Amino acid sequence: AMIVQSREEHQRGEPHDPDFAVEMKFRVMLAERLPVDYEYPDKLARILAIHKQLVRWQVSGRISGHVICIESNGVGWGLASDLRTKIGQFVISYTTVGSSMDKPYGGGKVSMPRLAALDWMRIMMETHHLKLVPDAPGHKQLASELNSFVWRRPGRPEAMQGQTDDLVMALCGGLWVGSKIIGPLLKAARRPRRATVN
């Protein structure tokens, strides 16, 4: 499942003001579930095609930058590795963990605590910081999955019996990375490196 979403930052107040905050808003531009019979090369080609479109938007000034987030649990690890080889710095891989602790980034590893991330997505929706673009391709499928996403087992929100939640979890991953990960990664990249002598 793939989600393409935009992230906008809005400053509230002046940077010297103690109440200064950066407010983020997300819009879902595309929700797509690849067919089950898609082979690995087809999946890779589809993601690369989306990347090329985003590069064109970036060159034209329509967007200021983009990243591709890949859940690297299981089979996603190979896809993330191949994408990193082909397009480099545009790829962030993350692992989904069962913890509810909100510690998204540390030691160079990116993790998404499932319960904390789902709760963050709920908050973003309730505060209208996450919106589905009404004419976005796949928006009806995503809305359907969101409506069938329930607490099925103690401590585990997931799709109702017979339904899927792939688009919901892809949206959750993109929101998590966009809200919690990109900032710390950019700070780490800008931090001056000290020379070491052995």
Q: Which residues contact 121 (CB under 8 A, 6 or more apart)?
A: 130, 171, 172, 175, 176
Tokens matching residue 145: 């999955």
50: Cα separation from own chain's centroid: 15
- Cβ atoms of 158 and 165 closer than 8 Å: yes
**pTM (two decimals):** 0.82
- Cβ atoms of 160 and 148 closer than 8 Å: yes
- Rounded Cα–Cα distance for residues 73 and 75 (Å): 6
- Rounded Cα–Cα distance for residues 198 and 189 (Å): 24
- Cβ atoms of 20 and 11 closer than 8 Å: yes
Determine if residue 11 is left, alpha or beta; phi over 0 gives left, psi from -120 to 50 gives alpha, anything else beta: beta
Q: List the pLDDT tens digit at each of the 198 positions of the chain.
A: 889 888 887 777 777 777 767 778 899 999 998 888 888 899 899 999 999 999 998 899 888 888 888 888 877 888 888 988 998 877 888 888 876 555 555 545 688 888 888 888 999 999 999 998 888 999 999 999 998 888 776 767 888 888 888 999 999 999 988 888 876 666 665 555 444 444
- Cβ atoms of 58 and 172 closer than 8 Å: no
